Structure 1
Amino acid sequence: MELDRRLLLAHCTAHALSIAAGLLVVVPMALNGSAFKENPGEPSGQPGDTSQLVVQQWGPPAACQFATFVGIFTVLYGAAQGWRSLFYLHGRHDDTLFSSFLTVLLSVCVLFLSGGASVILSLGLVSWCDTVTDHGMRPYSCAESQLVPLYLDVDTSSFYTELDLAQASLWCVTALWLAQSILAFLRLYHSHSQHISGPCRPREKELLLGHSPSDSGSPSPSPATPVVLV
C-alpha cells in the first residue's frame, strides 16, 4: 500500500510515548508490590490509635497485577510497533488491509482493558487513602500519611508517591491507546482507499488521454481516401 508518512509518523510518536508511560506504570507498581509484599489492592481496615492502623483484610493482588500487565504489554507492543513503523518509513510502504484491521481491533480491545485498569487502580488508591486517613478524620492527608508510622507489616514510606504516579501514568496510557485506536483506524481507511482506487487508476489514465484501453492494441484507422469522379 502507498505510504501516508504523516499518519505513520504520528503513530510512531504515539508508540514512543506509550513506552515511556508504560514504564512509569510498571516501575512504581513493582516497587509498591515489593514494599507491600505482594499485598496491594483495596484494603479493608480500621484505624487504631492516633498512629496505628489495623488492616482486617487485604484486597486481591490481581487488582494491581492487572495494572502492571497493561503497563508491560504497552511497553512491549509500543517497542515492536515502533520498530515496524520505522521499517515502513524506510521502505516507503505500509501495512496490508488485513494487518491494518487487526491493528485496529487490538488497539480497541487494549483501550478498554487499560481504561478498566485505570478505574480499578484509582478506586483502590481512594479506598486505601480513606482507610489510612479515617475518611479525613486524621490530622494528616493521604500524601502525608506515608510519612507517619502505621505499624503495619509492610513498608508504607512511599506508597502514595508510587501509586499516584502509577495512576496518572495509567490514565496517560489509556489516552494513548485511544490515540492509537484513532490513528490505526485512519491507516485502515487509507489502506482501504488505496485498495479500492488502485485498479481504477489505469482506466482513469486512459480516459484522461482520450482513448480506452481496448483501443490501445489496435491500429488507428487510416483516413478515408477521397474518390475523384471524372
Structure 2
Amino acid sequence: MELDRRLLLAHCTTHALSIVAGLLVVVPMALNGSAFKGRCALFSTGYWRTEDRPELTGDQGEVSHLVVQQWGPPAACQFATFVGIFTVLYGAAQGWRCLFYLHGRHDDTLFSSFLTVLLSVCVLFLSGGASILLSLGLVSWCDTVTDDSTRPYSCAESQSVPLYLDVDTSSFYTELSLAQASLWCVTALWLVHSVLAFLRLYHSHSQHITGPCRPREKELLLGYSPSESGSPSPPPATPTLLV
C-alpha cells in the first residue's frame, strides 16, 4: 500500500471517529438544554437557603433548596454544541471525499491540502477552547450545587438530590460529564486531523516537486537524451594502425 493511500485510510478512520465523538457532544447538550428549559447550567451562580416551604414538603418542616441567582451565559453551552455539530458535518463530508479518493486512487491538490491543514488547525484551537470552557463551567456549577463541597454528597450524587428548581436536574451530571469527555476526544481527534492533513500536504508537495524530474532522471540513467532522438548516433571510430 502506498503512502498516500495509507494516509487516506487513516484520515477516513479519523473522520468516522469524529462523527461519533461529535454526536456524543451534541446529543447530551441538547438533552440538558431541554431539561433546563433552554437555560445553561455552566457558570451559573446561586446559594442554598433553608426556610419553611409547605408547598414543597407538604408539612411545616424546614427544607433546604437551591436558589439560582443567575443562570450561565447561553453562549457557553452553544459554543460546545456548535463545535460538536461542525465536527459531525465536517467529518461526514470529508469522510465521503476520502472514500471517493480511495476509490479513484488520487488525492487533493496542493492548494486544497493547504486549506485543509489551515482549517484543521483553526478548529483544533476552537475545540480546545470549547473543552476548557465546558470543563470550567461544569466545575462552577458543581461548586454551586454542592455549596463549595460542604454538602454531604458529591456533584455526581447531587443529581439524585431534590434541588427544588423549576428545571429537571435528575441527569445533569451524566449529560454534562459525557459531553465534556466527548469534547476532549473531539479536540484530540482534531489534533490527529491536523497531523494527517500536514502529512498529506507534505506528500502532495513531494509528488509535485519530484514528479516532473522523474522522466528526465530515467533518461539520464538509460543514457538517452531527448536532443539525440532526431539524429542517429555517430558510428564508433575505428582505430588506425601506425606502421
Does TM, normalized by the shorter one, top 0.5?
Answer: yes
SS in 2 for 1:24: helix
In the other structure, the counterpart of 1:179 is: 192
1:72 maps onto 2:88 in alignment: no
Measured in 1, the distance between the counterparts of 2:46 and 2:230 equals: 87
RMSD: 1.8
In the other structure, the counterpart of 1:15 is: 15
The range that moved more, 152-161 or 218-227, is 218-227
In the other structure, the counterpart of 2:57 is: none
1:123 maps onto 2:139 in alignment: no
SS in 2 for 1:142: coil
User: What amino acid is aligned across from residue 46 of structure 1 in structure 2?
Assistant: Y
Q: Is the 8 A contact 1:12 1:86 kept in 2?
A: yes
1:219 maps onto 2:232 in alignment: yes
Q: Give 1:30 shift.
A: 0.2
Q: Is the 8 A contact 1:3 1:94 kept in 2?
A: no
Q: Give the 3 Å change call, closer, same or farther, for CA 158–224 of structure 1 in structure 2.
A: same
Q: Is the 8 A contact 1:25 1:165 kept in 2?
A: yes
Q: Give 1:227 shift.
A: 7.6
Normalising to structure 2: TM-score of the pair?
0.90
Alignment of 1:78-97 (within 5 A): 78-97=91-110
Stretches of structure 2 that go unaligned for 5 or more consecutive residues are 51-62
Measured in 2, the distance between the counterparts of 1:156 and 1:224 equals: 99
Measured in 2, the distance between the counterparts of 1:93 and 1:10 equals: 15
Q: Is the 8 A contact 1:7 1:187 kept in 2?
A: yes
In the other structure, the counterpart of 2:211 is: 198
Q: Is the 8 A contact 1:45 1:53 kept in 2?
A: yes
In the other structure, the counterpart of 2:34 is: 34
Q: Give 1:51 shift.
A: 3.8
Measured in 2, the distance between the counterparts of 1:209 and 1:154 equals: 80
Aligned residue pair count = 229
Measured in 1, the distance between the counterparts of 2:128 and 2:199 equals: 22
Measured in 2, the distance between the counterparts of 1:24 and 1:151 equals: 28
In the other structure, the counterpart of 1:43 is: 44
Q: Give 1:212 shift.
A: 2.5
Q: Give 1:216 shift.
A: 2.8
Measured in 2, the distance between the counterparts of 1:137 and 1:10 equals: 48
Kindly provide the CA deviation profile for residues 75-119 of structure 1, in whole angstroms up to 9, marking residues without a partner as x: 000000000000000000000000000000000000000000000
In structure 2, which of residues 47, 51, 72 is the aligned counterpart of residue 59 of structure 1? Answer: 72
SS in 2 for 1:220: coil
In the other structure, the counterpart of 1:167 is: 180
Stretches of structure 1 that go unaligned for 5 or more consecutive residues are none
Normalising to structure 1: TM-score of the pair?
0.95
SS in 2 for 1:4: helix
Kindly provide the CA deviation profile for residues 166-204 of structure 1, in whole angstroms up to 9, marking residues without a partner as x: 000000000000000000000000000000001100111
- Percent identity between the aligned chains? 86
In the other structure, the counterpart of 1:147 is: 160
Q: Give the 3 Å change call, closer, same or farther, for CA 223–43 of structure 1 in structure 2.
A: same
Q: Give 1:228 shift.
A: 9.4
User: What amino acid is aligned across from residue 5 of structure 2 in structure 1?
Assistant: R
SS in 2 for 1:44: strand
SS in 1 for 2:147: coil
In the other structure, the counterpart of 2:171 is: 158
